[in-house]
Amino acid sequence: MIRFLVFRALGLIPVFFIIVTVIFFLIRLAPGGPFEQGERFVAPEALEQLRAAYNLDAPLYKQYFDYVAGLFHGDLGPSMKQPSRTVAEWIVLRAPVSIELGFYALLFACTIGLLAGVTAALRPNSVTDYVPMSFAMIGICVPNFVLGPVLMLIFSIWLGWLPVSGWGPPATKVLPALTLGAAYVAYIARLARGGMFEVLAQDFIRTARAKGLGEARVVLRHALRGGIQPVVSFLGPAAAGLLTGSFVVEKIFRIPGLGSQFVEAAFNRDYTMLLGAVLFYAALILVFNLLVDIAQALLDPRVRYGK
Amino acid sequence: MASNPQAYEQGASLWKDAWQRLRRNRLAVVGMAVLVFVVLSVIIGPWLSSYSYETQDRVKGAVAPNAANWFGTDTLGRDLLTRILYGGRISLMVGIAATAVSLSIGVLYGAFAGFAGGRTDALLMRIVDILYTLPFTIIVIILSVYFQKSLILLFMAIGAVEWLTMARIVRGQVISLMQKEFIEAAQVMGLRRRRIVLRHLIPNALGPIIVYTTLTIPQVMLLEAFVSFLGMGVQPPMSSWGLLIHDGANVIEEYPWMLLFPSLALSMTLFSLNFLGDGLRDALDPRIAKD
C-alpha cells in the first residue's frame, strides 16, 4: 500500500513540471504583453524599467529557469497588474474562499447525489427511479451560468430569503454552493445508480439477503462499497469541473475567490498572475487525483496491487 | 415492416439496423426533431426577420414580449428573437467547426497511436494524459489571451483542446480492431500503412466516432457559451447564446425575459443533442447498455 502511494506521488512530479514548462511558454509567447505601448504613452525608459523589474528583458530560457528556481521557494513573482501583493500572496488570500466554496458544493453534490442514486437503484423503473433521474438530466443540461441567476432571482429577489451576493455569513454561501454543485448532483446520482444497480444484481448480495440480513444492512454494508466506486473515480474530474465552475459562480455572486481573480487576470493580461493561478490549479488537481487514487485503493484491493 | 417481404430478403446492414433502433427511441426522435427545428430556424430565421441584430433603438429600450417583438427587446432596443437567431448561428457554427477540428485531430492521432503501438503509442497517450490534467476551460481561457476577438481562432482553440477524448476512443477501437483477421489479411496482402488506417481501420471504428461526435457538439457549445459568458469569447455587437445569457443575467431583476429566452434556446439544443447522442450510442452499439 505504501509502495503504491509513493509510486503514485512521485509520478506526479514530472507531470507537474511538464505542465509548468508548457504553460510558461504558452503564456510568455502570447502576443502583446501587458507593457506594450497602448493608447496611453509610456516613456521608453519607464517601459525598460518595468520590463527589467519583471525579468522580461532576460533571454527567454533564463526567464524560464529563474521562474522554476523561484517555484522551489514558493515564489511566483510579482503580479503585473495588481502589484500591491505578489502572486503567491494573492493566491494565499483568494484560494481559501474558492476551496471553501468548492467543498460545500462537493458536499452537497455527494449527499444529494448518492441519496438519489441509491434510492433510484433500489427500485429501478419506478417513480423513485424516474423522478430523480429526470431531474438529473435537467441538472446536466442547464449550465451553472443559467442556474445561478435564476436561483438568485427566485430566492434573493422575489422571496428575499437569501442575500443577493457577497461572501461572509453562512446565508451568503447557500446559493453559490447550490449553483456550483447542481450539475454534480446529477452526475453523481447517475453514476451511483449505475454502480449500485450492477452490484445489487451480484451473487454475494443474494447471499447476504439469504443470510437474513436486513435490507438496510445489505445496502449500506455490502452493496455501497462496490456501488460507489464509479462515483469515487468521478471525483477527480468533478474537482476539476468545480474549479472551472467557480469562475462563473464567483462572477455571478461577486465572491472574492481565486476563480474571479483568474478570469480578471486573463482579461487584463496579467501574465504572472495567470501563470501562478494555472499552476496552483494544476497542483490542486494532481493532489486531488492522488487522493482519489488512494480512496479507490482502499475500496478495491485489486487496484492496490495493480491488477 | 412485417408486411414488406423484401426487407427480410435483403437482410439488414448495420446502418439499417441502427436506424430502426434509433427510430424506436422516442427521446432520440424528439431530440432529432427539435434539433432540425433549431437548425432551420437559425439558418432561415434571420432572413425572415424584419429586424437587424445590431440596429439599436434607445428610445424604445427594453420592451417585454409582445406582438411586434415576440421575445421582447434588449436594453438597447434590439429585437431579442433576431439576436437569438443570429446568436444561434454563431453558437452552432462554433459547435460544428470546433467539433470538426477536434474530430480530425482526434481520429488521426488516436488511429496513429493505436496502429503504431509499442513505445510510440505509450508516448503519444502519455501526452494525452498530461494534457488531460488541466480542465479544457482553463486552456481555452489561456488561448483566448492569444486570439482575443477572433472568432475563427476561438473555434480552433476550442477544437484544439477537445480532441483528447476522441483520440482515446479511436485508439481503443483501433487496438481491438487490429486483432481481427481482416486487418491481418490486409497486412499480409502488403497494403501500405496509410491505406490500412484510412480504408480499413477508421471506417470500422465509425460507430463510436459518430456517437462521440454527437456528444462533443453540445460540450463545445457549452464551452463557447461559458467563455462568452465570461466575456472572453464572442464580442459585442455580435451575439451568441452565451453572450445573450450574460447580458440577461445582468438585468435579470428588471427584464427577466432577456435571460429566459436565450437560456431556453441553449438548454433545448443541449438537451436534444444529448438525447440524440445517447440514442445513437444505444442504436449503433447495442452491447453498451445505457449508463
Q: What are the pLDDT digits (tens) for A138-193?
A: 777 788 888 888 888 888 888 878 887 778 788 788 889 888 998 888 889 888 88
Q: Do A263 and B230 touch (CB under 8 A)?
A: yes
Confidence of residue B77 (pLDDT cuts 50, 70, 90): low
Closest CA–CA distance from residue B155 to any residue of chain A (Å) = 18
Crossing angle between the packed helical segments A144-151 and A171-200, to the nearest 10 degrees: 130
Helix or strand (DSSP H, E) at A225: helix A224-227
Taking a C-beta distance cutoff of 8 angstroms, is the pair B45, B85 a contact? Answer: yes
Q: Which of B135, B146, B271 sits opposite A244 (nearest CB)?
A: B135
pLDDT at A41 (0 to 100): 65
State whether residue B73 is helix, strand or coil. strand
Backbone angles phi, psi at B268, to 5 degrees: -60, -45
For the segment A22-38, the average pLDDT, to the nearest whole number, is 73
Q: Do A31 and B146 touch (CB under 8 A)?
A: yes
Instruction: Tell me which of B145, B247, B274 to substitute to probe the interface with A (most A C-beta atoms closer than 10 Å).
Output: B145
Nearest residue to B96 via CA among B224, B260, B231: B224
Backbone angles phi, psi at A78, to 5 degrees: -80, 150
Could you tell me which chain B residue has the CA closest to the CA of A158?
A: B253
Q: Do A141 and B270 touch (CB under 8 A)?
A: yes
- Between A and B, how many CB-CB pairs are < 8 A? 104
Could you tell me which chain A residue has the CA closest to the CA of B255?
A: A153
Taking a C-beta distance cutoff of 8 angstroms, is the pair A67, A61 a contact? Answer: no
DSSP string, A253-266: TT--SHHHHHHHHH
pLDDT at A143 (0 to 100): 86
Closest CA–CA distance from residue A211 to any residue of chain B (Å) = 31
Q: Do A153 and B256 touch (CB under 8 A)?
A: yes
Residue B158 CA neighbour count, 13 Å, CB half? 30
Q: Which pTM was predicted? A: 0.80
**Residue A115 clears pLDDT 60, i.e. is over it:** yes
Confidence of residue A307 (pLDDT cuts 50, 70, 90): very low
Q: Do B245 and A240 touch (CB under 8 A)?
A: no
Closest CA–CA distance from residue B230 to any residue of chain A (Å) = 7
d(Cα B175, Cα B204) in Å, to the nearest integer? 12
Q: Do A18 and B245 touch (CB under 8 A)?
A: no
CB-CB neighbors (< 8 A) of A243 in chain B: 135, 138
Taking a C-beta distance cutoff of 8 angstroms, is the pair B183, B272 a contact? Answer: no
Closest CA–CA distance from residue A298 to any residue of chain B (Å) = 23
Taking a C-beta distance cutoff of 8 angstroms, is the pair B163, B189 a contact? Answer: no
Q: Do A267 and B248 touch (CB under 8 A)?
A: no
**Residue A5 clears pLDDT 60, i.e. is over it:** yes
Taking a C-beta distance cutoff of 8 angstroms, is the pair B202, B106 a contact? Answer: no
Q: Do B245 and A145 touch (CB under 8 A)?
A: yes
Q: In Å, how far are A42, A54, A267, B15 from A83, measured between CA atoms?
A: 18, 11, 16, 62
Could you tell me which chain A residue has the CA closest to the CA of B275?
A: A137
Confidence of residue B195 (pLDDT cuts 50, 70, 90): confident
Could you tell me which chain B residue has the CA closest to the CA of A30?
A: B146
Q: Do B134 and A282 touch (CB under 8 A)?
A: yes
C-alpha grid cell, residue B189: 496482402
pLDDT at A40 (0 to 100): 61
In angstroms and rounded to an integer, the radius of gyration of the C-alpha atoms of chain B is: 23
pLDDT tens digits, B129-177? 888 888 888 888 888 777 766 777 777 778 888 888 888 888 888 888 8
State whether residue B79 is helix, strand or coil. strand
pLDDT tens digits, B247-288? 888 887 778 888 888 888 888 888 888 888 877 877 776 554
pLDDT at B282 (0 to 100): 74
Q: Is the dihedral of CA A286, A290, A295, A300 positive or negative?
A: positive
CB-CB neighbors (< 8 A) of B141 in chain A: 247, 262-263, 266
**Residue B9 clears pLDDT 60, i.e. is over it:** no
How many percent of chain A have pLDDT more than 90?
4
pLDDT at A32 (0 to 100): 63
* One-letter identity of residue A182: A
pLDDT tens digits, A222-273? 888 888 888 888 888 888 888 888 888 988 888 888 888 888 888 887 888 8
d(Cα B175, Cα B198) in Å, to the nearest integer? 15
pLDDT tens digits, A270-288? 888 888 899 899 888 888 8
Closest CA–CA distance from residue A142 to any residue of chain B (Å) = 6
pLDDT at B288 (0 to 100): 47
Helices (H), chain B: 5-10, 14-24, 26-48, 80-116, 118-133, 136-146, 151-178, 181-188, 193-195, 202-204, 206-229, 241-250, 257-284
pLDDT at A104 (0 to 100): 92
CB-CB neighbors (< 8 A) of B291 in chain A: 190-191, 193-194
d(Cα A222, Cα A299) in Å, to the nearest integer? 12
- Name the region of A184 (left: φ>0; alpha: ψ -120 to 50; beta: rest): alpha
Backbone angles phi, psi at B73, to 5 degrees: -125, 165
Maximum separation of any 2 CA atoms in chain A, in Å: 85
Q: Which of B138, B229, B271 sits opposite A248 (nearest CB)?
A: B229
Query: For chain A, which residues lie within 8 Å of any Cβ of chain B, measuring from their own Cβ?
Result: 15, 18-19, 23, 26-27, 30-31, 137, 140-143, 145-146, 148-150, 152-153, 157, 190-191, 193-194, 240-241, 243-244, 247-248, 251-252, 262-263, 266-267, 269, 274, 278, 281-282, 285-286, 289
Average pLDDT score over chain A: 82
d(Cα A100, Cα A181) in Å, to the nearest integer? 13
pLDDT at A106 (0 to 100): 92
In which residue are the cell numbers 499552476 written? A279
**Residue B1 clears pLDDT 50, i.e. is over it:** no
How many percent of chain A have pLDDT more than 70?
94
Taking a C-beta distance cutoff of 8 angstroms, is the pair B234, B149 a contact? Answer: no
Least confident of A108-112, A258-262, A302-306, B263-267: A302-306
d(Cα B149, Cα A122) in Å, to the nearest integer? 51
Name residue A78's beta-bridge partners: A86
pLDDT at A107 (0 to 100): 92
Neighbours of B79 (CB within 10 A): 24
d(Cα A185, Cα A178) in Å, to the nearest integer? 9
Q: Which of A141, A282, A286 sits opposite B267 (nearest CB)?
A: A141
Average pLDDT score over chain B: 79
Q: Do B133 and A19 touch (CB under 8 A)?
A: yes
> Does the N-terminal peptide bond of residue B203 adopt cis geometry, omega within 30 degrees of 0?
no
Closest CA–CA distance from residue A26 to any residue of chain B (Å) = 8
- A194: Cα separation from own chain's centroid: 23
Q: Do B133 and A274 touch (CB under 8 A)?
A: no
Q: In Å, how far are A7, A16, A149, B130, B133 from B127, measured between CA atoms?
A: 19, 13, 38, 5, 10
Closest CA–CA distance from residue A24 to any residue of chain B (Å) = 11
* One-letter identity of residue A213: L
In which residue are the cell numbers 528556481 written? A69
First to last CA, chain A: 13
pLDDT tens digits, A41-82? 667 777 777 777 777 777 778 888 888 888 888 777 777 777
Could you tell me which chain A residue has the CA closest to the CA of B244?
A: A146
Closest CA–CA distance from residue B205 to any residue of chain A (Å) = 26
